[in-house]
């Protein structure tokens, strides 16, 4: 699996990929994450990649040519399964989309800024538009990092315990049951007896019941699905 992320702020993406599970996945060779500075594809000496919107209005719009030059250079090097644009008006990312993308090979992610990107980039190159929620961020970089994290942790071999991604909240359509660790009694707040019982069947039943109760309480919409 390989992600090529195109951005005007490559520095913003350094830290999220240099730690923990994403760092380990790259070190193990299970995924490659390459960040490209869109300004390297600007065709003017000021390295500007945006311009005023046709028809007037506030804000600048990111131009077609720099994105096209970067995408076409990458496409000449390898095949891409998806070209994803992170945008608040895209389809909302969920576990099922993350599962689907975890079966893909190479993907390009475009990060927008300013007022948006020229519609022709979306029409000509983009295969999928994703939002990470109904709120507006300053750019697509943090959403791109969220997407890569959600997808890469599902790639076989990335998590040390293969089953732990399968027991994540949402994975079975339910939220997770509560979890506890030592001490069993903290200031009189006790861990539920069943978890100390050693009775695996009873523990599994308790966890299922808790997951259903929590989902009913917090996200009844998941049960409708």
Positions at the binding site? 112, 132-137
Return the range that interacts with ligand ADE (CB under 6 A); candidates 62-70, 73-81, 85-93, 172-180: 85-93
189 by DSSP, 3-state: which? Answer: strand
List 7, 87, 210, 215, residue binding ligand ADE (CB under 6 A):
87
Shortest distance (Å) from residue 84 CB to ligand ADE: 10
Sign of the alpha-carbon torsion through 175, 181, 185, 187 = negative
Return the range that interacts with ligand ADE (CB under 6 A); candidates 9-17, 133-141, 153-161, 190-198: 133-141
Copy the structure tokens of residue 29.
Answer: 């060779």
132 binds ligand ADE (CB under 6 A): yes
The set of long-range contacts for 49-57, using a CB threshold of 8 Å and a minimum separation of 24, is 49/8, 50/113, 50/114, 53/115, 57/115
7 binds ligand ADE (CB under 6 A): no
Q: Which is nearer to ligand ADE, 84 or 177 (CB)?
A: 84
How many residues form the binding site for ligand ADE (CB under 6 A)? 11
Which among 174, 175, 196 has a CA at the least distance from the CA of 185? 196
Which among 6, 46, 11, 1 has a CA at the least distance from the CA of 149? 1
Which among 137, 122, 116 has a CA at the least distance from the CA of 52? 116
**Where is 84: in which H helix or E strand?**
strand 82-92
Copy the structure tokens of residue 93.
Answer: 């990312």
11 binds ligand ADE (CB under 6 A): no
86 binds ligand ADE (CB under 6 A): yes
State which of positions 182-221 bind ligand ADE (CB under 6 A).
none
List 16, 66, 116, 140, residue binding ligand ADE (CB under 6 A):
140
Shortest distance (Å) from residue 116 CB to ligand ADE: 9
Q: Distance between CA atoms of 158 and 149, rounded to whole angstroms?
A: 11
Known binding residues for S-adenosyl-L-methionine are 112, 132-137
Residues that bind ligand ADE (CB under 6 A): 86-88, 131-133, 135-137, 140, 143
């Amino acid at each position: 699996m390989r992600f090529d992320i195109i951005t005007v702020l490559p520095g913003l993406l350094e830290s999220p990929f240099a730690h923990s599970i994403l760092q380990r996945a790259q070190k193990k060779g299970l995924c490659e994450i390459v960040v490209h500075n869109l300004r390297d594809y600007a065709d003017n000496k000021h390295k500007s990649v945006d311009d005023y919107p046709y028809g007037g209005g506030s804000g600048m719009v990111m131009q077609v040519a720099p994105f096209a030059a970067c995408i076409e250079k990458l496409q000449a090097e390898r095949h891409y399964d998806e070209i994803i644009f992170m945008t608040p008006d895209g389809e909302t990312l969920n576990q099922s989309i993350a599962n689907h993308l975890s079966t893909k090979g190479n993907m390009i992610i475009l990060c927008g800024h300013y007022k948006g990107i020229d519609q022709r980039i979306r029409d000509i190159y983009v295969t999928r538009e994703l939002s990470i929620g109904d709120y507006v961020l300053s750019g697509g970089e943090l959403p791109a990092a969220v997407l890569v994290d959600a997808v890469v942790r599902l790639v076989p071999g990335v998590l040390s315990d293969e089953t732990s991604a399968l027991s994540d909240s949402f994975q079975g359509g339910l939220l997770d049951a509560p979890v506890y660790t030592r001490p069993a009694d903290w200031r009189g707040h006790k861990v539920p007896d069943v978890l100390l019982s050693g009775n695996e069947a009873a523990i599994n039943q308790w966890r299922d019941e808790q997951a259903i109760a929590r989902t009913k309480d917090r996200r009844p919409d998941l049960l409708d699905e």
